[in-house]
Structure 1
Amino acid sequence: MGQRAPTPLLPSGVLAAARAYGATACKGDPQTMTKRRALIYTGYGLGGLLALALIGLAVLWGIQAGQVLPNTAVAGTDVSGMNEDELRDAIDPLAEARRTDPVSFTFQDRTIDVAPEDVGYTIDADATAAAALARGRQGLPGDIAERIRSLRTVLDIALAEDYDPAEVTAWVDDLADDLDREITPGSVTIDPDSLEVEVVMPTGFVEVRRSETTEVLIDAMLAPGPDELELPADTEPQLVPDADVEAVAAQVERAIAGSLTMSSGDETLELGPTDVATIIEVVERPTSTGATLELVVTAEALASVVSEEDAARFEQQARNARYLVDREPPVTFDTQGSTAFEPVSADVEVEPGRNGTRFDPELAADQITELLRAGDRGGDLRLEKIEADFSTQRAEELRPTHLLGTFTTYHPSGQDRVVNIQKLADEVDHVVTLPGERFSINETSGRRTCERGYKPAGTIVRGELTDTCGGGTSQFGTTTYNAAFFAGVQIDQWKAHSWYFSRYPMGREATLNYPELDVKFTNNTDGAIIVKTSYTPGSITVSLYGQPIASRVSASHGSPTNRTEPDEERRTTNELFEGQERVVQAGFGGFTVQVVRTIEKLEGDTVTETIRTVYVPQDRIVEVGTRARSEPEPDDDDEEEEDDEEEEDDGDED
């Protein structure tokens, strides 16, 4: 046989490229040839390194053939470099120890042992060995990285273990069936028909927590080494002494021997023996040394034998303290221009309130429990006290001492809008606002609807007067706003009319429309504020009584500026003949006015607020007739129209 040709150290492709490049490099100038030779040598060097790496891996593969890779363990035992037989010899004793290592449960003075193999625990040695040998033999290119990693990183292979859940559960059930026993604290019950008392004495208790025991056993089997564990079980010794059961039984016997009578004033509540038997319960209560049995009456049981009619006989409604003050203020204040107001002393009395009472099953049950334990047959019934929301003491502390502010505006009598104003005044009259609370006309009255008795009356809707339910009540809003203005309180919300109405103070007025447009003020005084209202056929008055924070409040009115002229809108109507016209809405110019509110505080400080109001023009609306002269003349309702116009002229935003 001839000698074997040596294997080239570089791949043939690299050599061929290098030769070709070398041949080319022989041609040309010397400098170029030098660079090309350098590139050729670099290629040979890289190729040599790659060849060495491949040779090294091939040698490593050959050395490790059929052996466990370095730094490999099974269940903590080093098996590096072992072949398959050696690996099996190492795994078998591990598996045997794991199958026979006992799991011991301690319970009271007993120890219960179980070997894992007795509850279906097994180890697959072949699968474990295969897992160890499989390291670095999963296929390229991952095997290269894993074999390199094995040179420095330990990998511990777990035993291929398994168990039979059914056998584990069966063993735990057998153990629990052997140890479990019932516990009772004892009981005392009454036969509702015969009223005989039955007594059961207490016993102890053991209950193995089966699911938890199963989990603990499985965890112990899957962990190496023997284990000694406390058996998961709920246990209770006899907590209630026999003497306690006998004592409470005697209480029950006495309780049902006759009727129980409870009284309050002239009212009485009588419960016969059957009722008493119905409401009695004997329950377990913990003590410092264990537990005991107690006779109790629960609120639920008592409510089942006390009718609503019986309970109502003991009820008395609580009544809030209230203030007594004349509806008419001691002074009249109605100045529309620049003016000032000072608080006026007022006589406001307090009508005392009272607390109420109510039958409370909870209170009564606790009281009857005490009576029956003591062997008593009745007593004065305890009732729940219902505190008044506004006590007499609180009313005295906050009692108003002065008329803080008042204002009166005027209107023609007999109109539907007057009905609305007076109805709203009645709803707001005597509203009490405590310190820090906010007063709101809309929140007090709610939505002002025809169903509630409000009448359709004039309201500004998109620049035109029209009738809506509750119209005209803005006059009440203006009057309330002025009373709050001169009371010196914090006014939170108001909005002037879009048109100027001469019956209101210029720039010192407010409109209403539920729910957006409102008059709100906050009671920033130390006392209660009472809103009082009064009216005559031609006027409405709103007054605020309280404890003053200002010695004087003034309004300084500027002259109108920035006057604007109204537009004229002309509409056609077949209610008029051609050539006839009718003024539906008179025009009125707009302007801007400024009012300065000055509050002279009792502490000496002065607060100034500037209120700027812009009134838009009230457009003139004229209807032009389109009816031909040959057609019949429409019905004569001029008188009714004049009445409507007069009413609308007095209307405003709701």
Structure 2
Amino acid sequence: MRMPPVPRTAKGWSAVGGALVGVLLVSYAAVAVVTGGQVPWNTKVLGIDIGGLSEEAARAKLDRDLAARARQPLAFRAGAKSTSLDPRTAGLAFDSAATVKIAMRNGRSPLTMIDALLGGRTVRPLIRVDQSRLQTALNRLNTKIGTPAREGRVVFQGTTPQAVLPRDGSGFDPKTAAERIKAAYLTESTVSLPVGPLRPKASAEAVRQAAAGPARTAVSGPVTFSVDGKRLTMTPATFARHLQFIPDTAGTLQPRFDGKGLATALGARLERLQQKPKDATYVIKKGAPRLVPSREGKKVEPKALATALSPLVTRPRPREAAVPLSIAKPRLSTEQAARLGIKEKISTFTTRHPCCAPRVTNIHTIAKILDGYVVKPGETFSLNGIVGKRDKARGFVEAPMILEGRFVDDVGGGVSQFATTMFNAVFFGGLQDVQHMPHSYYISRYPAGRESTVSYPQPDFRWRNDSPNGVLVDTSFTGTSITVTFWGTKRYDIESKSSNRYAVRAFESKTESGPKCTPMPGAEGFRIDVWRIFKQDGKVVRRQKFHTNYLPEPRITCRD
């Protein structure tokens, strides 16, 4: 029997709609259950399907599949000129983590679940932008393509204001270029921009007025700042060279201090207002390392100094401001040091020298500076990087050193003996030699083939703590010796084996005159090989060869 047709009433449509909603809700619930903790099905990023993957797997897939595209240079056209832009140099990078999080967060709504069921959804890739690097890259491109506008400013010759007038340029607008590049990265291969005139922010008249008015006011008297209640006054002769008037976004010239330059100019005066942090270290008590806690310091940030002082110079007197102190964190905290496994002696070495020469003062000075220094796991120790240029202010004196094959006096001469002593502690500690340079001539107080010279800035002496534990540098000395001991967690027993000297070469004798003549005793040149033999539990696990070529040292006789 034929059924009568269903009337198309509002009630009928309501029933159909309710059924459809029910189906969709059930489908939504099913999708949500199945994809819990995963990227929703049919989710794509630049055509790459990451649906159904875990967050970690989705990130890995995007990083892998988009790696080449992320490195691809962008073709850059401005007017009739073309060049390219390296995205890495410009500070552009694909942010896979943020992209996947957006995909997972937005993919939980009913509407996007329906999208997934009906064919999928597309998520736009998110990028990270280093604005400073991008602007630097765009400035370089503008220099290639056109002529950048020169901003006007006021500088100081001594305490006299000097107007540097602005100049028009031509090229592309950096702000527009930045927006187009960010939009094109990963999605387009070419960015095109129109070229036109580039106008400086401030007019020439504005620069002249600033030089004649506010800039003269700026150097009309001293400025004073206080740090934690302690006051420090600077005269115009001190601060003017670190002050400029530069245009703001509205084209008005404003005073701006170079904070780093100011801090350098103030030097010790500023240091007395600060407190240096103290690194955690260890002292040796009864033959064992004992932890000495770290301490936070207080410092004046150059940016804070500039920010506080810049507005002062255009104000009426008195011109004074407070500069805040920031926390100065130690390089190594107590908590970090306690986890470094510094518990036993891993190597020690001593070299000897005659008493009382000026070079001994330098050996002792550098030993004091480095005593207690802790080298973290994976860290590379640089003697020049840590100690810096040897100077009289820290107690270094003039003493002989080898320069271009001759003995000359220089501040810090003799510290190569410390470098040699430390090199041997590195050698017998089983640590990684990164950079060492033997002396050009053999010096008999050092072990042949196991020694290192050092000067500033080069040659440096560097070694890497390739162990999983920290290394404590412990120094001690007498009037005739210097000792470097390393403490940490012992990994190897090290043996040293040397070849006989070979390729021996005789020295020549010379007679010279003049006030700079320095007698030299003369010594044979030779070659030698040294092996570092690594042992664990009595078994050899590694060998390392060091080859050294010593030149013949001439015999120099000085004639009056």
Normalised-by-shorter TM-score class: 0.3 to 0.5
Q: Which has the larger radius of gyration?
A: 1
TM (norm. structure 1) is: 0.37
